[in-house]
Amino acid sequence: MNLVALPILLTLSTALTTLVWRRPSTARRGFVLGSVVAQLGVATWLVFASWTKGPLVMLMGNWGVPWGIVFVIDLFSAIMLWLAAVTVLAGLLYGFYELPVRLEHPLRLPLLQFLAFGIHASFCTGDLFNLFVAFEVMLIASYALLTLEADNWDIKQAFPYVAINLVGSTLFLGAVGLVYGFLGTLNFADLSERADSLAGDPRLTMLGTLLLMVFGIKAGLFPLYYWLPHSYPTLPTPLAAIYSGMLTKVGIYAMVRLLGTVWPHERTLLHEGLAWVSGFTMLVAVIGAISRNYIRGILSFHILSQVAFMTLAVGFFTPWGVTAAIFYIMHHIIVKSSLFLIGGVGACLNRTDDLARMGGLWRVAPGLGVLFLCQALSLAGLPPLSGFWGKYLIVVEGLRLREYVLVGASVVASLLTLFSMIKIWMAAFWTEPSHSVVHAEDPRWRPMTRVVGAMTVLSLGIGLGAEGAVQLAARAAQGVFNREAYRQAVMSARGKEVFHFGPAQEETARRMRPEHASSGQLGAKGGARSPGDFQSEGHRIVGASGREPACRTLDKGT
Amino acid sequence: MKVQEILVLLAVGMPVAGVPVLAWLGPRLGRWVSGLALLFPVVSTGAVVGMASGMAPGMRHVVEWAWIPSLDLPLSFLVDGLSVFFGLIVCGVGVLVFYYSHQYFHGRHLHLARYYSYLTLFMASMLGTVFSNHVLLLFIFWELTGLASFLLIGFDHTEEASRRGARRALLVTAGTGLLLMVGLIVLGENAGSYRLDTLLAASNTWAAKDGLNMAFLLVALGAFGKSAQVPFHFWLPGAMAAPTPVSAYLHSATMVKLGVFLVARLFPIFQGSDWWMPLLTVVGFTTLWLGTTLALLSHDLKMILAFSTVSQLGYLIGSYGLAEAGGIDADYLHILNHVFYKGALFMLVGVVDHAAGTRDLRELGGLWRRMPAVGVIFAIAVATMAGMIGTTGFVSKEILFKEIFAVMKTHGALGFYAAMAVFASSVLKVAVCGRMLWGVFFGREPAAIGQRFHVPAPAFIAPPAVLAGAALLFGCMPTLLEGALDAWSVTGLHAGGRGELAIWHGLTPELGASVAVLLAGFGLFAWGLRTGWRWAELPGSLQWDLLFERGMDRFSTFCKVWTSWTGAEHPARFLLISLSAVAMLTSSMVVVYVPESFWSALLTGELVQPPPDPLRMATAALVAMGALGLIGLRSWTAQVISLSVSGFLLCFYYVLYHAPDLALTQILVETVSLILILYVLARFPRSAQRGEEMAVESTAERLWKGFVAVLMGGSIVALHIWVLAPGGMERVGPLFVEHTVALAEGANAVNTILVDFRGFDTLGEIAVLLVAMLGVVGLLMRYKRTPAEFREGPLGPPGYGIHHN
Amino acid sequence: MQLDSALLTGVLFGTATWLILQGSFVRILFGFILLSHAVNLLVLTMSGEPSGKQAPLATESGPWVDPLPQAMILTAIVISFGVTAYLVGLLYRLFLDHGTTHAGSLYAGDSTEHEKTK
């Protein structure tokens, strides 16, 4: 049994089961919880397996390149899957404690699992069009969840979210079409091979920019981020935590995948532009955060500012830069989701998260305060918490590249992040509330705090045990950069089409290799593989064993 | 484990362990928490004394444990004279302050456990900073001291002043801390090592002068921020909102000295920088005279002490700036002297505050009668501060004047400036000392004091007595210090030419200067007394803390205005902004990337060979007309018809593209969409249709929207043609038709792709449909919960939401 | 290269953009429908010049047009139909809750953070 399919199968089947199992009940909750724990287990195994064996490949429907859709899980994907599972688990548990079963919306859990399905599929897929489909699943589920429990004020904020993301998806489809028109294939590995042979063609850079723009909408780069800061605050806390942790990160994941695995590695205007846009975004967004006066609003803007740190690191596009980005993703997902959850606990105690009316939490709930301090200061990058290492790596890389202005921007953004975190701290924790009392008798906040506590332990682990996290990120970045290994893993996975290939088709197959592309000014540079080896290999396998395993994993090239 | 390792582990590790222990166990212990808390500094002190006892001049140990090898960051500690010296101060004063705190709070504060765990956290991070052997590790502990200071200043967090003071302190020290981090990275990257022992051994032999200067500049700013040097001096007075023991510990004896420590630590590395002398001298000595002036103009005893601390730190920093390349001599003595008298004075102010209920000089007086013992100790401390003979202050000042006379000769204008600053501030300081002593203990006792006065317990006075006693002891017998100071000297920092420490050096120019300064100071004091210190008022232009606060408020307002200005407050404009951005980006991509050859090829028409099929052209024109009709047509009915015409003609266009399946699906989807549209339109009021025409829009806005639309359409056309121009790869698509029968056993390649080759896409597609349906159900099933429950939202009663503001 | 398709795509994109930017729900809806047409056409054009080729049926004798874009569009049509249906639902709900069919007037009464501090 190949575990590559499990993250998708588990989420999809859970979603469908809960859909059929209409009425919310404790048993239903337990079932979903079990499924998510299983997803976490699978993801953990995938991290372990992709660490030891390199990219894991599964052919969907047993069709290899270029016929079908290939699922590839390298270390980076596995880490993202793991983080997604952790975030969903935390959100789920928190939601269970927050809301009694009788108040639970029957569609929340199915839609959440559909969302997870879309997110997981985005991380797993090795095919551009399939990525589009996965994005769509994720987006439609996110629209549905956003409006599911919205009241008449919230629903207004959902409209720009839906509209802008619709434009984004349309552009994505257009970009996929253009890429297919230019490179003639959809598979990442195949695309990267073909892109190499066309390296230098400005169309490649242009298509890359187009895709980056699409992912930039999803990740939330200025000035494409307007859909986010007003819509996230309308979400119920546990969902906001999951959205803030995962959705923008899918965009960043796609950026890293595109630039690292698919597109040629020369540094172009693309990377430079990404870095500068990020530098600008982190400042504008953090200013936006300071302008808010309620916790969810502040945190929502901070997502954007932090996203820009990651994309800045991606824009530097050195192995350490991408390592920094991956590390930052790992840190950020945990920290940002738990901050949303902490805000929720605070709101549960204060019955509001309006800073002008909150207060007294440090007196009543010092444990929550400690958790907030850990996570907020980590977000601001105070050493030795997890955020510091991400920032440190980015600053070091920026200084090495002599991008002093961008380093300056990131330093200023960190300081302003600290400023707005102190604002929350002073208003919600230190000040005594003037108009309200702290509802310490509410039984929900203690178990909810415990969920956050577990997340905090994780982020403290990333901070104090940075060695492990850095190694993981570095290895993942290495995997992203190692296009040869990725291609090899994908290209050598053979599906059922090899059984049907006769010598007559050999010519066709050969024709499709890059070196036989239609003659153009840049088309005939020659590819990495010798023609025909794909063919003979297929025959050899059939001849030797009579049956090729449906899918297999390969040792990493290096 | 070697002895050194155990000592370092005990010194740094004990307080680290103490933080969670105290936070967890403390609340359960009641007033006994003080006893438990005292354990940690005592053990640390023992360990540091252990290290100190084995010290010899120039000795250096490195103790190291692995931590993050990937970033080349070990837990590496450097035990040398400098770190041991600072470690001793941190621990020694720490023990006194822990003890004093117990007295200060009478062991009765509600959050005593919290207080002690902050204090222990502070102590741990201080010891970590001074013992670090890796600049990054140093920075980590450095920032933690700032955090501890933030928590301690805000300990009385229900007070607005405490919160504001804490925020100011954190923002300034963390902000400059970030610069420090960048500076340390620049240093490490340029020098090739982040380890202090390697860096110190290599001194500044490395060549990259630019890197050196840049690193130094940033590091110096970090040090200035922490040590409250001009222009960052304004955070320290605000920090006086902390409980007094905290002020005594953090904001006079230890944390604010970190900047000094850093300058001393990196002295051998940065001394060669072009900026070293001018920057440190100007900033240090400016802080010196400004600080004393501010001290003279203040009334609150803690403020006075805070400003005088600022000035003393300025002197220390400045003196490092003036040092010769070989090193400096008497820095330890100056620091020690300051610790003695300033620590004692702060603690005494706490005593006075407790006893008399105020620390404003204008409301104090005549307390000698009520507590002579405190008066005596206060007098000793003040005498030390003023530099009277028989105290360490005198010894320190003699050396100071000697140094100043020397630099006046060697350093030209800067030396002269330094000397003027030193003399002026010494005079002012004498006056300040006189004012404090007189103002608290002599003169008429205000009536209010009598009612609330209570005599302080002897145990409360003991810690300041110890410090003042030390000042007196070492002041009378300075030779006692010599051995220790020599043992702790550090190669590269200390030149070793300090000369004898003695009370009496004979009739030297320094002595003359001392006497002159004392006389002038007394004169100023007498005048102040006569005028009743009426002129002593801080002018607004010097209250930088207020300026800073106002700046913060302005900045918050600016953020709101800016965010509103960038459109983030106007959801109705989000689509316009985003689409404009997309259109601009896409079109600028076209402009930037598309080569000129393409445009010329386009104009000559060679890219559009063969010419399009006329039937297709005609269909395309009709589709386009249908679409454009949507813009012009007013009534919804006409618009729907136009849209449908366009949609169904598009199906025909698909047929011309030999896409029968596509055309069929399109017809189906078009039909269902039409039904949906009609369903909605039937529910919208007809008045809305007229409302559309009356949309309030300026011409500029309409023009802009049109521009965006044209830009969008135009760039898509250009992209389209360009991407399909020769030079692309052959597509894999035709392969599917060739092999569809053989592989998938179906003749229709489109179908086999959908259901077999790329079946997973279809699964996703179905999922989207399903979820969309669920979404619509969710949108319309809001009555599932009762309206009351719904209004309560997921979290409960109203109030949780921005819309209730 | 099919000039007609390119121009048609451009016109559809431009028109759709214009319509989406109008505040009226009806126009926004029409705009998104046109936008999905436009992008489908864009993808379809990537299959190359169709004249002289056959539909992608193995029963026909080649050369065939490229079936992959067609398959992609088929998927995309259904997806965009689902999303459009959802959009209709959303707009209808907005109308129910706020009694307006114009996006501009949805947010008319909302005070901004900036205004609140004034």
Contacts of C87 in chain A (CB under 8 A): 162, 166
The beta-carbon neighbor of A167 closest among B564, B582, B768 is B582
Instruction: Residue A81: name the closest of A10, A1, A168 by CA.
Output: A10
- Asked whether the beta carbons of C67 and C74 are under 8 A apart, the reply is no
The string of pLDDT tens digits covering residues B596-621 is 888 888 888 777 777 778 898 999 99
In a domain, A547, yes or no: no
In a domain, A494, yes or no: no
pLDDT computed for residue C118 by the predictor = 44
pLDDT computed for residue C34 by the predictor = 94
Asked whether residue B795 carries a pLDDT value surpassing 80, the answer given is no
Who has greater pLDDT, A436 or B479? B479
Please give, rounded to a whole number of angstroms, the shortest distance from the CA of C102 to a CA of chain B: 8
Identify whether B456 is preceded by a cis peptide bond (ω within 30 of 0). no
pLDDT-derived band at B166, boundaries 50, 70, 90: very high
Q: How many domains does chain C have?
A: 1
The three-state secondary structure class of B660 is helix
Which chain C residue has the Cα nearest residue B778? C89
pLDDT computed for residue A542 by the predictor = 31
The string of pLDDT tens digits covering residues B390-429 is 889 988 888 888 888 888 888 888 888 999 999 999 999 9
A354 touches chain C (CB under 8 A): no
Please give, rounded to a whole number of angstroms, the shortest distance from the CA of C104 to a CA of chain A: 11
- Asked whether the beta carbons of C95 and B681 are under 8 A apart, the reply is no
Q: What is the mean pLDDT of residues C21-45?
A: 92
Count residue pairs from A and C with Cβ separation < 8 A: 84
- Asked whether the beta carbons of A50 and A541 are under 8 A apart, the reply is no
One-character DSSP codes across B211-252 = HHHHHHHHHHHHHHHHTT-TTSTTHHHHHTTS-HHHHHIIII
pLDDT computed for residue A504 by the predictor = 47
Percent of chain B residues topping a pLDDT of 70: 94
Q: What is the mean pLDDT of residues B306-325?
A: 89
In a domain, C117, yes or no: no
User: Where do runs of H (alpha helix) occur along B730-758?
Assistant: 733-739, 749-752
Rounded distance between C-alpha atoms, residue A237 and residue A226, angstroms: 20
List all residues of chain A from 351 to 410 with a beta carbon under 8 Å from chain B: 351-354, 357, 362, 366, 370, 377, 382-384, 388-389, 392-393, 395-396, 399-400, 407
Q: Which chains touch B (3 or more CB pairs under 8 A)?
A: A, C
Asked whether residue B90 carries a pLDDT value surpassing 90, the answer given is yes
Contacts of C103 in chain B (CB under 8 A): 572, 575
Could you tell me the residue ranges of all domains in chain B?
Answer: 284-538, 736-805
In a domain, A504, yes or no: no
Q: Do A352 and B71 touch (CB under 8 A)?
A: no
State the residue range of the domain holding C88: 3-52+64-104
Q: How many domains does chain A have?
A: 1
* Residue B452 φ/ψ, nearest 5 degrees: -105, 0
pLDDT computed for residue A535 by the predictor = 35
In a domain, C86, yes or no: yes
CA distances from B300 to A201, A471, B434, B538 (A): 72, 54, 15, 12
State the residue range of the domain holding A240: 3-485
Q: Do C56 and B765 touch (CB under 8 A)?
A: no
The beta-carbon neighbor of B579 closest among C4, C21, C103 is C21
Q: What is the mean pLDDT of residues B662-673?
A: 92
pLDDT-derived band at B499, boundaries 50, 70, 90: low
* Residue B488 φ/ψ, nearest 5 degrees: -95, 5
Of the spans B178-182, B449-453, B613-617, B657-661, which averages the highest pLDDT? B178-182
Contacts of A205 in chain B (CB under 8 A): 593
Q: Which chains touch A (3 or more CB pairs under 8 A)?
A: B, C
Provide the 8-state DSSP code for B79. E
The string of pLDDT tens digits covering residues B231-283 is 999 999 889 999 999 999 998 889 999 999 999 999 888 888 888 889 999 99
In a domain, C28, yes or no: yes
Q: Do C13 and B716 touch (CB under 8 A)?
A: yes
Query: What are the per-10-residue average pLDDT scores of chain A (558 residues)?
Result: 83 94 92 96 94 89 85 94 96 92 88 96 94 96 91 85 94 95 92 89 90 93 89 90 94 94 87 93 94 91 94 93 94 95 90 85 92 95 92 93 93 94 93 82 90 95 93 93 90 72 52 45 34 34 33 33
pLDDT-derived band at B206, boundaries 50, 70, 90: low
The string of pLDDT tens digits covering residues B126-143 is 999 999 999 999 999 999
Residue carrying structure tokens 């505050």: B353
A101 touches chain C (CB under 8 A): no
CA distances from B32 to A161, A366, B26, B187, B659 (A): 57, 20, 8, 47, 85
Please give, rounded to a whole number of angstroms, the shortest distance from the CA of B567 to a CA of chain C: 11
Please give, rounded to a whole number of angstroms, the shortest distance from the CA of A555 to a CA of chain B: 24
CATH number of C75's domain: 1.10.287.3510
The beta-carbon neighbor of A98 closest among B70, B186, B795 is B795
pLDDT computed for residue A549 by the predictor = 35
A287 touches chain C (CB under 8 A): no
Rounded distance between C-alpha atoms, residue A157 and residue B571, angstroms: 7
- The four Cα atoms A380, A386, A392, A393 give a dihedral, to 10 degrees, of -130
pLDDT computed for residue B805 by the predictor = 34
In a domain, C90, yes or no: yes
